[in-house]
């Protein structure tokens, strides 16, 4: 598998999955079930997962695949793999708030190197090109033909006036306490992996996450942010956030533009 082969496939699958998700999103009603970890799952999660998994396994049968909706895949071990969250932000989807994404990423030697984040209800799509740089595509999102893209780059941050983005569903007191360590110009809330992308485009400077996430929640956004010149580090010691952990659970982390002067936890 080369990057030149990978990028068109993950871009196409993200759009096709997004189309399937929007069919269900725009229907009169849909069933919401509860998984063993008490998190919600819908027909949209399951349909998108089936589509993406079949596409990736068909195109790259020799590459390890980890996907949120298939618990058997969580037992796979390696430092190089494809990782999928077919619908990140299920609560946003259920409440029809639009801040949900399709996430597909490649992790190599413990680091996300390529990925795509597609927010079908927001008409925004971000991905890395074969060379690793990050772009935002605009247009009709045709699965077969890549539309116009624009390079994206993190902001040149002013530490006296930072723009902060935080979770819409998980913004708690611990998060507020950490944000208050900075000189904040303004803050906004966003759902799902869109927060990484807002830092990648320069719309925000920093995204602290003081709460539970899994690697499939973050890998694609992490890859896009890295491709735009940003960083994702552990909250506790500011070392790089690594992937392929035994249970695929992340520690708390901070995603940021490199000019941000990070505060201690």
Q: Which residue has the higher pLDDT, 9 or 191?
A: 9
Q: Residue 139's pLDDT band (boundaries 50, 70, 90)?
A: confident
Query: pLDDT, tens digit, for every residue of 178-224?
Result: 999 999 999 998 888 999 999 999 999 999 999 899 999 999 999 99
To the question of whether residue 191 is assigned a binding role by annotation, the answer is: no
Is 128 found in the same domain as 24? yes
Host H or E run for residue 93:
helix 90-94
Claim to verify: residue 87 and residue 135 sit in the same structural domain: yes
Rounded CA gap, 203 and 164, in Å? 9
**Does residue 238 lie in a domain region?**
yes
Total domains in the chain come to: 2
Query: pLDDT tens digits, residue range 61-119?
Result: 999 999 987 778 778 888 899 999 999 988 888 888 889 999 999 999 999 999 999 99
**Could you tell me the two tokens for 14?**
């993200």
Q: Give the per-residue pLDDT at 258.
A: 98
Q: What is the mean pLDDT of residues 107-132?
A: 97
Q: Identify whether residues 143 and 183 lie together within a single domain.
A: no
Residue 55 labelled as part of a binding site: no
Among 97, 117, 151, which residue terminates a domain? 151
Q: Are residues 114 and 204 in the same domain?
A: no
Q: Residue 14: which domain range?
A: 3-151
Q: Is 264 contained in some domain?
A: no
Length of the chain: 265
pLDDT in tens, 214-253: 999 999 999 999 999 999 999 999 999 999 998 999 999 9
Q: Do both 49 and 143 map to the same domain?
A: yes
- The verdict on 19 and 146 lying in the same domain is yes
Element (H, E) at 198: helix 194-200
- 87 marked as part of a ligand binding site: yes
Quick one: pLDDT at residue 38?
Answer: 64
CA distance 80 to 29: 39
| Ligand-binding site membership of 244 (annotated) | no
Clarify whether residues 137 and 175 are in a common domain: no
Q: Is 79 annotated as a binding residue?
A: no
Residues 4-14 have a mean pLDDT of 98
Do 193 and 119 share a structural domain?
A: no
Q: Model-level pTM?
A: 0.94
Say what the pLDDT of residue 167 is: 82
Q: Which of 92, 124, 151 is the last residue of a domain?
A: 151
Check: CB of residue 134 under 8 Å from CB of residue 152. yes
85 a known binding residue? yes
Residues 129 and 192 placed together within one structural domain of the fold: no
Known binder of ligand: residue 218?
no
Q: Classify residue 104 by burial, with Cβ atoms within 10 Å: 0-12, 13-18, 19+.
A: buried
187 membership: H or E segment, kind and range: strand 184-190
Single out the residue in 151, 176, 195 at which a domain terminates.
151
* Residue 9 to residue 62: CA distance in whole angstroms: 15
């Amino acid at each position: 598998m080369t990057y030149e082969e990978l990028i068109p496939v993950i871009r196409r699958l993200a759009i096709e999955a997004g189309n399937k998700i929007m069919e269900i999103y725009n229907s009169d009603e849909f069933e919401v079930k509860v998984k063993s970890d008490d998190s919600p799952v819908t027909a949209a999660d399951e349909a998108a997962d089936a589509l993406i998994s079949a596409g990736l396994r068909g195109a790259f049968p020799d590459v390890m695949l980890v996907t949120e909706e298939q618990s058997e895949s969580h037992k796979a071990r390696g430092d190089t793999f494809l990782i999928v969250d077919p619908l990140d932000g299920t609560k946003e989807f259920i409440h029809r708030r639009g801040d949900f994404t399709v996430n597909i990423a490649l992790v190599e030697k413990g680091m996300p190197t390529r990925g795509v984040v597609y927010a079908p209800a927001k008409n925004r799509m971000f991905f890395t090109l074969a060379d690793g740089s990050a772009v935002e595509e605009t247009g009709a999102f045709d699965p077969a033909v890549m539309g116009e893209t624009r390079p994206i780059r993190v902001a040149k941050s002013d530490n006296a006036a930072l723009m902060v983005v935080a979770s819409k569903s998980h913004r708690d007191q611990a998060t507020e306490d950490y944000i208050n360590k900075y000189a904040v110009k303004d803050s906004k809330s966003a759902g799902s992996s869109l927060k990484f992308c807002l830092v990648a485009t320069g719309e925000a400077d920093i995204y602290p996450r003081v709460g539970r996430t899994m690697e499939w929640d973050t890998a694609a956004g992490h890859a896009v942010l890295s491709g735009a010149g940003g960083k994702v580090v552990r909250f506790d010691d500011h070392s790089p956030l690594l992937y392929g952990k035994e249970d695929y659970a992340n520690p708390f982390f901070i995603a940021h533009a490199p000019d941000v002067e990070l505060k201690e936890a």
